[in-house]
Amino acid sequence: MQKFDKAMLKKEIENNARKLFRRELTELNEKEAFHAVAAAIQNQIIDDWILTTKRAEEEDRKRVYYLSMEFLMGRALGNNILNLSAHEEIKEVIEELGLNLSALEDAEPDWALGNGGLGRLAACFLDSLATLGYWACGCGIRYKYGFFKQQIVDGYQKEVADDWLKDGNPFEIRRAELAKEVRFGGWVETVQEADGRLRFVHKGYQSVEAIPYDTPVVGYDNHIVDTLRVWDAKAKETFSLDEFDKGNYQKAVESANMARNIVEVLYPNDNHYAGKELRLRQQYFFISASVQTAVDSYVKKHDGDVKHLADKLAFQLNDTHPTVAVAELMRVLMDDYHLTWDEAWEITVNTCAYTNHTIMAEALEKWPIELFSKLLPRIYQIVEEINRRFCEDVRKKYEGNAEAKIAKMAIIYDGQVKMAHLAIIGSHAVNGVAALHTEILKKQELKDFYEMYPEKFSNKTNGITQRRWLLHANPELAEWVTEKIGDRWITDLSQIEKLAVYAEDKKAQSEFMAIKRHNKERLARYIFEHNGIKVNVDSVFDVMVKRLHEYKRQLMNILHVMYLYNQIKDHPEREFYPHTFIFGAKAAAGYKTAKLTIKLINSVAEVINNDASIKDKIKVVFIEDYKVSSAEVIIPAADFSEQISTASKEASGTSNMKLMLNGALTIGTMDGANVEIVKEVGVENAFIFGMSSDEVIELEHNRSYKPMDIFNNDQEIRRVLMQLVNGFYSPEDPELFRPLYDSLLNTKESDVADRYFILKDLRAYMQAQEEAVKHFQDREWWARAAILNTAHAGKFSSDRTIEEYVKDIWHLDKIEM
C-alpha cells in the first residue's frame, strides 16, 4: 500500500481546476470546485478499485450481482472521502486549500435513481458489501432523469425534471468495451439441428445497445472497492447508411427514439404497479445486459465452462422488477451455451434468489400475455415452458385439488404473466424483509408456495449503514460515541450496545442532549433558509419522513395536529408543550389522494403557523424535496420518529432504524421492523399504539368496520373531519379536501371507507402522542431513553443483514487484501 501524499493531492486538485475550467482553484465557484475535488478523489479510489477486481479474480471469489431497478445513493463525495483510509489527511488538504468540505458536498446533486426505501436499501447493501470485503456488483439503470424534484407551489406538489447528469458525474466511467446487445420484438423460428436438438432463432427484432457506466463503491477503511453498474441505452447503428439508402430513415429514427426512451426516466411509483410497456422494456433492458456480462466474465475466467456458474455467481432480485433474469439466464445458458433445459434450470435456480418487499395487491407485477409475448417472444417461450413444468409438478403433488392450486400458483394464468410466481419458482431462496412481514408471507400471501417449497423461505430483516446514517449524517454524535466506546461500532454496530451503561449517567445524558440540540439548531437553520419558518429548538421535533402513501398514514398525523389546534383554541389557558411537526414526502405524480394530503398538510401549516393567538405552541413544517441528502440533516435532529403505518402494510421500513440510531423515540404501530425495534429497545422506551396486524387482517376479512360509527360517536374527531369540508383550512374552496373526507367515511359502490383504519387507530394515536409529550418534558427520562435507543440499534446495521444473506443465501468468501 502506497503512503498517502498530501502535497500530491493538493497539486492534483489545483491541476484539475486548470484542466477542467482553465482557471485557478481560488477562482472557481462551489460547483466547479466540487468537480475539481471529486476528480481527485476518484483518482484516489481508482487503484484500489482495479486491485479489488484483480484480487477477487485471482482468489476466484464468488460474486453477488444485486439486481435492482433502483439505487437511491444520495451524494457520493462526502461518503467516499469518509470511507477512504486517508480521510483525515484528505480533509486537511481540502481545508488547507481554503475549501469548505460541506459546501463542496452541497454542490453535488443527489443520485436519485430510486423512489424510497427499496432503492435506499440497495444503496446501504452496497456500502456493507464493500465494507465487509465481499465482491459485489449492483446492476441498474442510468436514468437520464432520476426521481423528480419536488417544488411546493401554493401548497401543492409540483414535479420538476431532475437533470442530474447535466454537469457530468465525476465518479462514473463509461465502459464501452463491455457494451451488450439487447433484443426486443420480432419472432422465434425453430430449427432442427443435425443431432436432433431444437435450436431457437430470434428474428426480426429491434436491437438496443446497452452501455455500462461503472461507479466505485468504497468499503470503509479496507481498500476494497465494489461497483455500481448502471446501463445506458443507445440505438444500434443509428442512422446507418444502409437503412438510409433503403429509405428506412423512419425506422432508424424510431429505433434511436426507442433506445432513448428506455433510460429516459425513473417511474415515480413506490409500492404501486402501473403496467406500462416501457417499464417492462426497462426491466428486460438492464437485466439482459447484466446477465450477459455476468455470464461472460464468469465464462472468460473459467475456460468456457459454464456448468459451475452457480458456485461463482449469485443474482439477488430486489423485488419482482428484475425477475426476467430467471428466463434470461435460461436463454443465455441454452441458446448461447447450448445447455439442455435441465442443466440450465438447475444452474438458474441455484443462482437466483428473490426478495419480497410488499404484500400490497396494487404492487404485484403482472403483465398481459399479449404485451409480454410481443415484446419478448423468446423469453415468453421460456416462461411458458417453466410454467408448463411447474404445473406438472403441482399435478403430481396435489392430485385431488391440483387445478385449484394451479389457479392460485401458476406463472401464466388468466391472460397474465405473474412475476412474483416466476421469481419464487425460479429461485432457490425467497425472503421477506422483517420478521413480521416474513410470517405474513408464509401464513397468508405466499402460503401455497411456502407449503410447496418450505426450504426456500427465510427472513432477512432490513438494515441501514451506520457509516452514512451516523458517521456521516451526525458527526457530533458519532464522535461522542467513539469517545465513549471506541470506534469499532463503525464496522461492527453490535458494539454500540456498550453505550447502554451511559443511559443513567447524568454527564453523558447532558452531553447527548446537547448534541441533539445542536442538530436541532442545524435543522432549524435549514428550515428557516428553505421555508422561511422560525422554529423553536426547545419544542418537540416530531418527524415523519417517507414516501407519501395512504398506508403510511400521513393523514392520521395531520388529523391529530388539527385536533391539537382545536384544543389550544378552545383552552388557551391550558399548558401545552411546544411541538413542531416536520413532514417530508413526495407523492407519485398520478396519485391524487397522496397529492391532496400534501396540500392539506401545507394548508394546515399556513393557518396554524400564522395564528399569533396560539403563541407558537404548534408549528407545522413541510420540507420540500425530501431526499437522502435532506434526510441526513433531518434525522439527527428528530425527537419523535413517526412510524404509524396500518399494521401489516409496511414490510419493514428503514427510516425507523435511521431515526432510532440517531436517538429518536418511535411513536409507532406494531408493523414491519417496528416490532423488532421495540423488542431491542424495550416497549417502555417507545410509544406503541393501535391495532395489531392480526386484528387488521381479521377486520379486512369480515368487513365489519364502520368508520361512520366513530364519526358519529366521537365529537372531537367529528369536528376535525368536518373541518375538511367546511372551508376551515381552505376558505377559498371549502370542497377542496372533500376527497379525503370521503376516503375516510363514504362507502361508494366498490370503494371501502377508511381502508387503512385511520379513524379506528386515531384515538390510540392521540393517547400515544400525549404520553410521548409528557415523557419528553421529563428531560432525564428522555435522555436515558434516547441513549438507549441509540445503544440498542445494533441489530439494524445493514452489515448484519448482509452477513445473513451471505451465510444463508449467497455463500460468499471475503476478498483478502
Ligand X SMILES: *Cc1c(COP(=O)(O)O)cnc(C)c1O
Q: Does 627 bind ligand X (CB under 6 A)?
A: yes
What minimum distance in Å lies between the beta carbon of 329 and ligand X? 30
What minimum distance in Å lies between the beta carbon of 148 and ligand X? 13
Angle, helices 506-531/475-485, rounded to nearest 10 degrees: 170
Exposure string over 144-164, b if 16+ CB within 10 A, otherwise e: bbbbbbbebeebebebeebeb
In this structure, what C-alpha cell is assigned to residue 637? Answer: 435532529
Identify which range of 157-165, 349-357, 527-535, 649-657 contacts ligand X by CB under 6 A: 649-657
Specify the residue, 42 or 630, whose C-beta has the smaller distance to ligand X: 630
CA 613 → CA 412, 608, 617, distances in Å? 63, 10, 9
Considering only residues 298 to 337 of the shown chain, the ones binding ligand X according to CB under 6 A are: none
For ligand X, how many residues bind (rule: CB under 6 A)? 12
Considering only residues 546 to 605 of the shown chain, the ones binding ligand X according to CB under 6 A are: 546-547
Q: CB count, 10 Å around CB of 798? A: 30
Amino acid letter at 421?
Answer: H
Specify the residue, 69 or 631, whose C-beta has the smaller distance to ligand X: 631
Helix (H) or strand (E) segment spanning residue 654? none
What minimum distance in Å lies between the beta carbon of 433 and ligand X? 10
| Residue 483, helix vs strand vs coil | helix
Specify the residue, 627 or 649, whose C-beta has the smaller distance to ligand X: 627
Considering only residues 476 to 505 of the shown chain, the ones binding ligand X according to CB under 6 A are: none
The residues that bridge with 604 in the sheet, in sequence order, are: none
What minimum distance in Å lies between the beta carbon of 23 and ligand X? 35
- Residue whose entry in the numeric block shows the C-alpha cell 417499464: 279
Specify the residue, 120 or 467, whose C-beta has the smaller distance to ligand X: 120
Specify the residue, 49 or 469, whose C-beta has the smaller distance to ligand X: 469
Amino acid letter at 286?
Answer: F
- Interatomic CA distance for residues 262 and 265, integer angstroms: 8
Q: Does 654 bind ligand X (CB under 6 A)?
A: yes
Annotated active-site residue 389? The verdict is no
The residues that bridge with 543 in the sheet, in sequence order, are: 582, 641
Q: Which of 546, 599, 617, 627 is catalytic?
A: 546
Q: What is the length of the chain?
A: 817
Identify which range of 28-36, 239-247, 323-331, 651-659 contacts ligand X by CB under 6 A: 651-659
Identify which range of 253-261, 625-633, 732-740, 780-788 contacts ligand X by CB under 6 A: 625-633
Largest Cα–Cα separation, the chain? 94
Specify the residue, 53 or 438, whose C-beta has the smaller distance to ligand X: 438
Q: Which of 378, 421, 547, 784 is catalytic?
A: 547
- Interatomic CA distance for residues 710 and 723, integer angstroms: 16
What minimum distance in Å lies between the beta carbon of 291 and ligand X? 28
Nearest 5°: phi and psi at 717?
-70, -40
Q: Which of 144, 437, 520, 552 is catalytic?
A: 552
Residues 6 or more apart whose CB falls under 8 angstroms from that of 663 comprise 477, 512, 516, 786, 787, 789, 790
Identify which range of 290-298, 616-624, 626-634, 747-755 contacts ligand X by CB under 6 A: 626-634
Q: Does 655 bind ligand X (CB under 6 A)?
A: yes
DSSP state of 109: P
What minimum distance in Å lies between the beta carbon of 635 and ligand X? 8
Quickly list H helices, 185-268.
241-245, 249-262
What minimum distance in Å lies between the beta carbon of 533 and ligand X? 21
Considering only residues 245 to 284 of the shown chain, the ones binding ligand X according to CB under 6 A are: none
Amino acid letter at 797?
Answer: S
Amino acid letter at 214?
Answer: D
Specify the residue, 391 or 678, whose C-beta has the smaller distance to ligand X: 678
Among 217, 218, 419, 628, binds ligand X (CB under 6 A): 628
Which residue, 301, 704, 716, 663, is CA-closest to 509?
663
Annotated active-site residue 654? The verdict is yes
Nearest 5°: phi and psi at 543?
-110, 130
Identify which range of 294-302, 653-661, 701-709, 771-779 contacts ligand X by CB under 6 A: 653-661
Annotated active-site residue 357? The verdict is yes
Annotated active-site residue 801? The verdict is no
- Residue whose entry in the numeric block shows the C-alpha cell 456458474: 309
Q: Does 785 bind ligand X (CB under 6 A)?
A: no
What minimum distance in Å lies between the beta carbon of 390 and ligand X? 34
Residues 6 or more apart whose CB falls under 8 angstroms from that of 528 comprise 534, 535
- Interatomic CA distance for residues 530 and 331, integer angstroms: 52
Specify the residue, 233 or 631, whose C-beta has the smaller distance to ligand X: 631
Contact 551, 756 (CB under 8 A): yes
What minimum distance in Å lies between the beta carbon of 697 and ligand X? 21
Specify the residue, 426 or 672, whose C-beta has the smaller distance to ligand X: 672
In this structure, what C-alpha cell is assigned to residue 48? Answer: 484500489
Contact 578, 539 (CB under 8 A): yes
Q: Which of 357, 442, 516, 595 is catalytic?
A: 357
Specify the residue, 180 or 649, whose C-beta has the smaller distance to ligand X: 649
Helix (H) or strand (E) segment spanning residue 160? strand 156-160
- Interatomic CA distance for residues 16 and 316, integer angstroms: 39
Site string for ligand X, 118-157 (x = CB under 6 A): --x-------------------------------------
What minimum distance in Å lies between the beta carbon of 655 and ligand X? 3
Among 294, 631, 644, 772, binds ligand X (CB under 6 A): 631
Among 41, 44, 82, 116, binds ligand X (CB under 6 A): 116
CA 429 → CA 179, 670, 804, distances in Å? 30, 26, 12
Q: Compute the half-sphere exposure of residue 740: CA atoms within 13 Å on the CB side of its CA.
A: 30
Q: Which of 465, 654, 790, 801 is catalytic?
A: 654
What minimum distance in Å lies between the beta carbon of 652 and ligand X? 7
Q: Which of 63, 520, 658, 760 is catalytic?
A: 658
Nearest 5°: phi and psi at 125?
-60, -40
Identify which range of 559-567, 603-611, 627-635, 689-697 contacts ligand X by CB under 6 A: 627-635
Binding site for ligand X (CB under 6 A): 116-117, 120, 546-547, 627-628, 631, 653-655, 658
- Which residues are annotated as catalytic? 357, 546-547, 552, 654, 658
